[in-house]
């Protein structure tokens, strides 16, 4: 079956889909997709007696839970990564009963700041929170090795995946690793076929868990396919002065579909992911900020920007200082604490993360 045709048609399917892990996605004609239509495999995850409602995950199949636990095994020595198993009761997840949504924190650092920020998300979202990294950050909460998600599903080299995020200033880290993290995080709906949406958060944010939980809760019933922080058409000043437009020129997309987005935090749907994977496998691909919204517009997927209540302190530059963040929070009428960028966080610890 032609992979492009198969993947682009997946959003018309009404049953959960499972992409066999052993398939070599490097050649489109080799991809096989099977429907998970055996109701007996869709078992409830065992619940604890305490807080049983929060642990009720009726939409996830037993097969997917087994797969998730396999992915949580560290590569190399086969040891289990720290985190909860199926019966874990240390955290509650408030959305799972009616909203199959994952929250992903992408990083390649496990210092105190990043460990704390991941811990806040782990507390807020429980079993469907994941830290994703190409490095073996086994002490990070709910750690998923990026390679164990993607390498058996997507036969594209890390050098190719770098195109997804090749315009990041080198002085602020290792953009090639960030691009690979992003690519593998996108593949979670292929690993867990029942997933409908994935929130992806870069690691140069400052936030508290409640603010992110409010954001995710706001959109738990929203079916939008791609949700960035900002969205702009190819027109006016941007059409003539924003350099990365040229990355779209070799691709199939006509200029009336060209858009750019700013998305250090984003939400993507499983339908959107399948179109992205299809384009990445069949054609060249480029920097995600124009690639993602243009692809969504080309395939007539739904796009909307995240509510400004949550993103008004998300900017491209300059970096926030701790003093500025503290002052800004005091002046805000609503208690939302989400700030970007904060790239000096390797050496600074905010009071919210020092406890």
Give 242's DSSP letter.
-
Structural domain spans, the chain: 3-353
Asked whether the predicted pLDDT for residue 74 surpasses 60, the reply is no
Enter the tokens of residue 258. 């060209």
Confidence of residue 52 (pLDDT cuts 50, 70, 90): very low
Judge residue 166's burial from the number of C-beta atoms within 10 Å of its C-beta, 0-12 exposed, 13-18 middle, 19 or more buried: middle
Using CA atoms, how far apart are residues 125 and 141, in angstroms rounded to an integer?
11
DSSP structure class, residue 303: B
* Residue 85 banded pLDDT, cuts 50, 70, 90: very low
Structure-model confidence comparison of residues 54 and 103, the more confident one: 103
CA angle 242, 247, 252 (to 5 degrees): 125
Cβ atoms 5, 31 nearer than 8 A: no
- pLDDT band at residue 106 under the 50/70/90 scheme: very high
Question: What pTM was estimated for this model as a whole?
Answer: 0.78
Q: What is the DSSP letter of 230?
A: E
Structural tokens at position 15: 């049953």
Convert the pLDDT of each residue in 113-137 to its tens digit.
899 999 999 999 988 899 999 888 9
| pLDDT at residue 258, as a whole number | 98
- The pLDDT value given to residue 47: 34
- In tens, the pLDDT along 205-216 reads 999 999 999 999
Give the Cα separation of 254 and 248 in Å (integer).
9
Ramachandran quadrant class, 41 (left: phi over 0; alpha: psi -120 to 50; beta: rest): alpha
Contact by Cβ (8 Å): 244, 287: yes
Residue corresponding to tokens 């009726």: 58
CA distance 66 to 192: 10
């Amino acid at each position: 079956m032609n992979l492009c045709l198969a993947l682009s048609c997946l959003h018309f399917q009404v049953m959960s889909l499972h992409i066999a892990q052993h398939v070599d996605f490097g050649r489109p004609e080799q991809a096989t997709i099977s429907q998970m239509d055996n109701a007996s495999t869709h078992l409830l995850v065992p619940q604890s007696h305490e807080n049983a409602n929060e642990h009720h995950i009726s939409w996830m199949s037993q097969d997917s839970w087994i797969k998730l636990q396999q992915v949580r095994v560290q590569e190399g020595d086969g040891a289990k990564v720290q985190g909860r198993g199926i019966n874990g009761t240390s955290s509650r997840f408030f959305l799972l009963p009616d909203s199959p949504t994952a929250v992903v924190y992408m990083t390649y650092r496990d210092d105190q700041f990043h460990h704390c920020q991941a811990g806040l998300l782990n507390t807020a979202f429980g079993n469907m929170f994941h830290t994703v990294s190409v490095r073996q950050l086994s002490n990070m909460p709910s750690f998923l090795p990026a390679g164990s998600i993607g390498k058996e599903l997507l036969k594209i080299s890390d050098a190719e995946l770098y195109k997804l995020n090749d315009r990041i200033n080198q002085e602020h880290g290792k953009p090639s690793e960030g691009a690979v993290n992003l690519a593998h995080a996108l593949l979670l709906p292929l690993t867990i076929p029942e997933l409908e949406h994935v929130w992806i958060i870069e690691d140069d944010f400052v936030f508290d868990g409640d603010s992110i939980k409010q954001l995710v809760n706001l959109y738990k019933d929203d079916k939008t396919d791609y949700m960035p922080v900002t969205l702009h058409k190819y027109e006016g000043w941007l059409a003539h002065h924003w350099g990365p437009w040229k990355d779209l020129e070799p691709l199939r997309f006509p200029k009336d579909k060209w858009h750019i987005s700013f998305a250090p935090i984003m939400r993507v749907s499983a339908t959107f992911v399948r179109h992205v994977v299809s384009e990445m496998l069949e054609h060249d691909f480029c920097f995600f900020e124009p690639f993602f919204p243009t692809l969504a517009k080309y395939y007539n997927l739904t796009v909307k920007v995240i509510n400004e209540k949550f993103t008004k302190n998300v900017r491209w530059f300059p970096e926030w200082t701790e003093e500025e963040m503290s002052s800004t929070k005091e002046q805000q009428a609503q208690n939302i604490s989400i700030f970007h960028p904060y790239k000096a966080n390797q050496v600074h610890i905010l009071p919210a993360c020092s406890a």
